[in-house]
Structure 1
Amino acid sequence: MKTMKLLGLTTAMALAAAPVMAQDDPIRVGAAVYGLQAEFMQIWSEALEQHPAVQSGDVELTIFDGRYDALVQQEQFETMITQQFDAIIFVPIDIEAGATAVQAAADAGIPVVGSNTRVNSDLLTAYVGSDDVQSGYMEARYVLDQIGCEGNVVILEGPIGQSAQISRLEGNLMALEECPDVEVLERQTANWSRAEAQTLMENWLTAHPDQIDGVIGQNDEMALGAIEAIRGAGLEPQDFAIAGIDGVTDALMAVKAGDMASILQDARAQAQGALDVVLKAADESYEPQSDIWEQYPDMPWNDGADAEYNVPWTPVTLDNVDALLEMRQ
């Protein structure tokens, strides 16, 4: 995969080009994302940069790295408000804390579209993302089916208080209710981090020798960290049922190797869909330029007026994994 160039910036990166729209200046859009350390948000951000309106110069885009800190994201909103950005795309780290930032933008008359993770605010223009309850259920159901609805599992959670952690856990627990003979031995956050997940899994393997049958990782990075811990303990990943979410590159390789299951979260559709929707909010004459609306006919554009756009999940299988890997080249 082409790596996103951070160009040495710590909190933001900007992409600007000469305006070609009817107005004198391009529309200025800020994208406040919770963090750029992991591959998924890098894919999301790169897809935003590749949106036709950005590439043509219709839009001047600035991507802000929230560094996994709600206060940093709040400060970035204040910067965008002060600099009079035309529109904001928000990927919050905290479902509750992010509401203050949305309120400030609304007070300044700046439309905000949520993407990927949710914020508890009715002031968003719209939300473009995927149903995390559904993905949490899907991944847990895979693990439970693999172990025959009997045995012991552990759950690696995302950052506590982020919408994906809350909703994916809800889906995890829905699936677990269908298998009353399965015990959750451990459940703890690893903050979407491969390294933190590896440490947790190492501890759990020591605390529960020969007892863990399945690993429910609420994202791929954490599932991959668990795999590294399993290998480090001299065990084979294929002796465990392991699942994650996102479809990052290393997870695709692990699916191909038979080490885990994953569900693709379409970062490109979420990012480019959010930009189309927020541009419509900023300019009523705008028509969508991304091809994602043709890609997902069950998610119609509806003149950019819907409150929520739900991007479907795609289970990663041996039949589609090579094609997905090729897209990362």
Structure 2
Amino acid sequence: MTFKTFTTTASAMALTLSLATGASAQDDKVKIGATVYGLNAEFMQLWANAAQQHPAVTSGLVDLTVFDGRYDALVQQDQFETMITQGFDAIVFVPMDIEAGATAVELAHEEGIPVVGSNARVNSDLLTSYVGSNDVKAGYMEAKAVLDKMNCEGDVVIIEGPIGQSGEIQRGEGNEQALAECPDVKILERQTGNWSRAEAQSLMENWLTSHGSDIKGVIAQNDEMALGAIEAIKAAGMDLSEFSIAGVDGVTDALNAVKRGEMDSILQDATGQAQGAIDVAIKAVMPDYEPQSSLWADYPELDWADGAESLYQVPWTPVTGENVDKLLAERQ
């Protein structure tokens, strides 16, 4: 098993925690592990960095370890077993597979370790809570942006996320909802690009060879894949303005592409998801804990509810010409 570990060296705060809270009696810090499906691309790097910068982590209240799941559900299950063996107090889970991840959650539950989901869903009712965004809504929003620019005329291709990952399933559902509003639009191709810019570029190169200018829209279920499609179109010497392209996440290159008028994107708040999930995980271990992340102030419509809600949905932010410079400045 391999993993990346993000460590924090801030001094520990003195706490009195009983075994009943789930925290280790031998260690003043709350020990939280986060296993994420993969750290190759920017969005999950943003998520992991935000988790590392949570105020409870930087102050020393929490000892946080982030594990790289390497896009493999079995690797993530191994990481759960490691965290259980090493006596972690709580786990934050960003699963690779909506079904396979349930086994890992069950293992932790059997040992009395709370598991908080974030960003990607797992089909388990044993989660303590879930802090993420509505991917069905995102899939609808991105597809509608593409179709509106096409005036519901012409045909599209869909570049999907990893098959079996909740983002692929739910964004696909949203894509279909938007496409149902444009019954004359035909899907020429749909295939997974595994959240990868390089894989999406290769797919788009093949599709341009097969379909050429018949492709009017590209619905990519994340920004990395939308950016890969853009590179393929440019490499083919085709006019990018003749394509309507959209993705999801608001990664830095996508923000710049929106600014250039090359694509549409919807910002997914990696910081809010990561830090909100850590707040909920700490609360599951420390009953008197009050949230320290900015999530709850940033989105007043989100009710902390004493950390007891089973679902916390972080809103999406469409990237526009009016807000893109501000979003880019915040990324610095």
Q: TM-score range by the shorter chain?
A: over 0.9
- What residue is the counterpart of 2:7 in the other structure? 15
- What residue is the counterpart of 1:73 in the other structure? 76
Shift of 1:158: 0.2
Contact map agreement 2:149 2:244 (CA 8 A) in 1:
yes
User: Does residue 163 in structure 1 map to residue 163 in structure 2?
Assistant: no
Shift of 1:239: 1.4
Shift of 1:291: 1.4
Once the two structures are overlaid, the 10-residue window that deviates more, 307-316 or 278-287, is 278-287
1:20-99 equivalences under 5 Å are 20-23=13-16, 25-99=28-102
Matched residues, number: 321
- What residue is the counterpart of 1:328 in the other structure? 331
Contact map agreement 1:89 1:274 (CA 8 A) in 2:
yes
* Cα distance in 2 between the residues matched to 1:222 and 1:87: 33
- What residue is the counterpart of 1:261 in the other structure? 264
- What residue is the counterpart of 1:271 in the other structure? 274
Shift of 1:21: 3.9
Contact map agreement 1:245 1:264 (CA 8 A) in 2:
yes
* Cα distance in 2 between the residues matched to 1:37 and 1:21: 36
- What residue is the counterpart of 2:19 in the other structure? none
Shift of 1:328: 1.2
User: Does residue 114 in structure 1 map to residue 117 in structure 2?
Assistant: yes
Residue 294 of structure 1, aligned match among 297, 310, 317:
297
Contact map agreement 2:154 2:216 (CA 8 A) in 1:
yes
1:114-263 equivalences under 5 Å are 114-263=117-266
- What residue is the counterpart of 1:4 in the other structure? none
Over the matched positions of the two proteins, sequence identity in percent amounts to 67
Shift of 1:249: 0.2
* Cα distance in 1 between the residues matched to 2:107 and 2:327: 39
Shift of 1:168: 0.1
Contact map agreement 1:238 1:260 (CA 8 A) in 2:
no
Shift of 1:12: 2.5
* Cα distance in 2 between the residues matched to 1:14 and 1:106: 24
Q: If the length of structure 2 is used for normalisation, what is the TM-score?
A: 0.95
For 1:215, the aligned partner's letter is V
* Cα distance in 2 between the residues matched to 1:88 and 1:293: 21
Deviations 1:5-60 (A, max 9, x none): xxxx9513131432114235100000000000000000000000110000000000
For 1:113, the aligned partner's letter is V
* Cα distance in 2 between the residues matched to 1:280 and 1:168: 30
Once the two structures are overlaid, the 10-residue window that deviates more, 314-323 or 232-241, is 232-241
For 1:155, the aligned partner's letter is I
RMSD after superposition: 1.0
Task: Report the 3-state secondary structure (helix = DSSP H, G, I; strand = E; otherwise coil) of the residue aligned with 1:114.
Answer: strand
Contact map agreement 1:114 1:124 (CA 8 A) in 2:
yes
Once the two structures are overlaid, the 10-residue window that deviates more, 123-132 or 282-291, is 282-291
For 2:12, the aligned partner's letter is P
For 1:238, the aligned partner's letter is S
Deviations 1:118-154 (A, max 9, x none): 0000000000000000000000001111101111000
Contact map agreement 1:27 1:60 (CA 8 A) in 2:
yes
For 2:173, the aligned partner's letter is E
- What residue is the counterpart of 2:20 in the other structure? none
For 1:61, the aligned partner's letter is L
For 2:160, the aligned partner's letter is E
Task: Report the 3-state secondary structure (helix = DSSP H, G, I; strand = E; otherwise coil) of the residue aligned with 2:6.
Answer: strand
Shift of 1:236: 2.3
Q: Which runs of 4+ in 1 moved over 4 A?
A: none
Q: List runs of 5+ in structure 2 lacking aligned partners.
A: 17-26
* Cα distance in 2 between the residues matched to 1:292 and 1:90: 18
Q: If the length of structure 1 is used for normalisation, what is the TM-score?
A: 0.96
Contact map agreement 2:302 2:312 (CA 8 A) in 1:
yes
* Cα distance in 2 between the residues matched to 1:25 and 1:326: 37
Deviations 1:186-233 (A, max 9, x none): 000000000000000000000002100000000000000000000000
Shift of 1:238: 1.8
